[in-house]
Amino acid sequence: MEISNLYLHEEDKLHYLPTFKRFPLAFIKGKGSRLWDADGKEYIDLLAGIAVNNVGHCHPKVVKAIQEQAAELMHVSNFFVSPPQVALSKLLVDISYMDHVFLTNSGAESVEGAIKVARKWAHANGKGGTIISMENSFHGRTLATIATGQEKYQRGFAPIPTGFAQVPFNDIAAIKAVSSEEVAAIIVEPIQGEGGIRPANPQYLQQLRNYCDEHRILLIFDEIQCGVGRTGQYFAKDHYGVQPDIMTLAKGLGGGMAIGAFLCVKKVGDAIDFGDHGTTFGGNPLASAAALATLQVIQEEKLLDEATEKGAWLMDKLRGLQKEFGTIREVRGVGLMIGVQLDKPAAPLVKALMDRGIIANATADNVLRLVPPLNIPKSDLKTALEVLRELLTND
């Protein structure tokens, strides 16, 4: 097979379902915070597969764990247990202060599972099954998850599943206005990702926690993008000091290997019976070994501290650019989950950065999203800032 950006891009268009508006790039190698395309060009990666490669591309400890596990045992049915799954489950419960975990293959599957167990608990407690979500949220692309999300993702897929309601983000009064005994759970991203990197107001999540406790409603945190060290804590919830009843994970959990999870407290787990939920591939030995190694790297290399320090430094530099260039309206985020809101669409800037060897992306139309590996060298961040400054100067 010919290996070039052009050839692979054209072949892809012939065979792959046209659901992605792809850039004409084909990446063939990654190491740390660097990527190389099929034409040999090197890039600094500030996207990390959209907050997936939290420990960088092909971290040697993650690679070693995958290689060794692949040589021993890749998959068994969940009728049985395996050492990597048992170890990963214990670690996730320990660092989250939750009681139970269920391992999945993706973020959307994690949210689907969260919705199922929330409704099972609600029905067991004489309540309805309505799920309240937030405007501008994103929880996945399956039918149930688009029912929780933005209208643009629902178009053309009617009938959309019922039993969902949506309210403005950061607005406790809006929750109270639609709440009833029919509500099983409220799902919220502590930091909205696809909605433009928008953190919840500090008091909002505590207000939600108090309201849910008062009205026997489960609180679900979607930490698929903001979890696994991205914000400088294992989970964004820890910045707020608020504990959910259910929490969803994926993206950064496997260091690049596909794996997700949802965790829950004991009262939710107690409502689940044998056969209520299941998965063929979720938490298999290979994926679990990758996730376990990823979490161990985050611990051993103190990447929570790295994300905190580099994130604060980077946002300070970006706010300096904001003072210098009127194009930047706002810089927001936590740790290394950063959004730069522009006064115009961000896509042209993303393309210009890519042409200069910097990978980022646009979200919510006018927000430049920066979610690099947690262990990205500061020298790479400095280079990216220099390129960004040049592009803004010449804009």
Q: What pLDDT band is residue 124 in, cutting at 50, 70 and 90?
A: very high
Per residue in 38-49, pLDDT tens? Answer: 999 999 999 999
What is the residue-averaged pLDDT of the chain? 97
The neighbouring-strand residues paired with 339 are 332, 369
Q: What average pLDDT does range 310-336 have in this prediction?
A: 97
- Residue 276 pLDDT exceeds 70: yes
Q: What is the pLDDT of residue 1?
A: 66
Mean pLDDT of 176-203: 96
- Our answer to whether residue 267 is catalytic in this structure is no
Whether 26 shows a pLDDT value over 90: the answer reads yes
pLDDT value of position 395: 80
Percent of the chain exceeding pLDDT 90 equals: 98
Kindly name the residue from 37, 222, 245, 380 that is annotated as catalytic: 222
Pick the catalytic residue from 120, 127, 237, 251: 251
Examine the pLDDT at 62 and tell me if it is beyond 80: yes
pLDDT value at residue 337: 98
Q: Averaged over 340-355, what is the pLDDT?
A: 97
Mean pLDDT value of segment 281-303: 98
Query: Is residue 251 among the annotated active site residues?
Result: yes
> Tell me, what's the pLDDT at 2?
72
Active site residue 325: no
Q: Which of 138, 164, 169, 221 is catalytic?
A: 138
Residue 374 banded pLDDT, cuts 50, 70, 90: very high
